[in-house]
Homo-oligomer: A and B are copies of this chain.
């Protein structure tokens, strides 16, 4: 198997050289063609998906899991329109970030360029296949996809349709690749191909991400969990705080930018918490609180929050609540227990807002808005390949721009160093 995997990676590398000079117009034409092909091949894709669903039902996987796996008419249309959205985005490749003119006449252009070969390792959702293909094509990267076994038939069907459409339009051979074996050894082999593969993006559960970063010799952009906070400051507009907190927890609890812990300043806790808690309980949210929270909400069932609660990404209708003495304690709590994802303060005090925004060490920090906005589309980036919780290269939503890097292109007329 090793030689086969290495051959795929080397093919992708060779293709990546050709992609460097692919014109924006052609990229967009290929994307649009792919979107149309997806719609046209709907029934073919859904038949493949049916195989995966049958297997999943046989293995008695959870309903929520099977739902994520299922492709419907609407979901295929959504995939296609997401590809069309990527076609509409600006092309980052070739943009000049900085132009430096030196006294010796050298003109130095800091220019955005593709990264090279990107490997995406993902789990169940088959729409990831289409998103990755669109984003890597637009950013001029070769792509190697390695999807999970649960969705393997759906992934292969989507890949084949898109790959065929792209190839008809003249996309260089081996630009798009899928590892179709589900043997786990394939991943280990790829993670050792530094120099050929330039970037690894694992998308999925925590254990997948941990395993990949541990084994990889290639740079990894990690998408760990999101333990997100909303802090209701003593100077908060409490109506606004209630609506933001409610939205951050309940609008879609299963995603990484949903709130997991609510922090409340002690001066407003007695006024804010009772009606807030009532609303949460009515929406089916289980509350776990610090001693003071439980005292204030003694008429409502609030379980005692354990140390582990502050660290937990529930991804569910569960919320931990803590009353804090001041802004500093809120910031310290977030920096200690948070995951550098998305955290918000609700306050009308400008100075406090700026302190929170500066000192909370997260990729996205909010004042007076819901944490739920951290995503590529909401940030105006079109689609995203994930939300990075790393600090280097890419933080927050990873879109077309984050899939590029830069080089210095230097124009001289004979300059030599003295």
Q: A residues within 8 Å of B by Cβ?
A: 17, 20-21, 100, 102, 106, 108, 115-116, 198-199, 213-214, 217, 219, 237, 240, 243-244, 246-248, 251-252, 335, 355, 357-359, 361-370, 372-374, 378-380, 390-393, 395-396, 405-417
Contact = CB atoms under 8 A, between A and B. Distances in A.
Nearest to A248: B416
A397 to B, nearest CB: 8
A260 to B, nearest CB: 16
User: How many chain copies?
Assistant: 2
Contacts of A373: 106, 410, 415, 417
Contact of A115 (B219, B247, B372, B391): B391
Which residue among A355, A378, A414, A417 has the maximum number of chain B CB atoms within 10 Å of its CB? A417
A370 B219 contact: no
Nearest to A375: B417
Main secondary structure of the interface of A (DSSP, over half): mixed
A125 B199 CA distance: 32
A366 B405 contact: no
A411 B363 CA distance: 14
Contacts of A414: 237, 240, 243-244, 368-369
A407 B251 contact: no
A9 B84 CA distance: 47
30 contacts: A20-B358, A20-B359, A21-B359, A100-B379, A102-B378, A106-B369, A108-B379, A116-B361, A199-B392, A213-B217, A219-B390, A219-B391, A243-B416, A252-B417, A363-B408, A364-B410, A365-B408, A366-B412, A367-B411, A368-B411, A368-B412, A368-B413, A368-B414, A369-B413, A369-B414, A369-B416, A370-B417, A392-B392, A392-B405, A395-B407
A102 B377 CA distance: 10
Given A240-B414, A392-B392, A416-B244, A17 B407 contact: no
B380 A102 contact: yes
A391 B392 CA distance: 12
Given A20-B359, A380-B102, A417 B199 contact: no
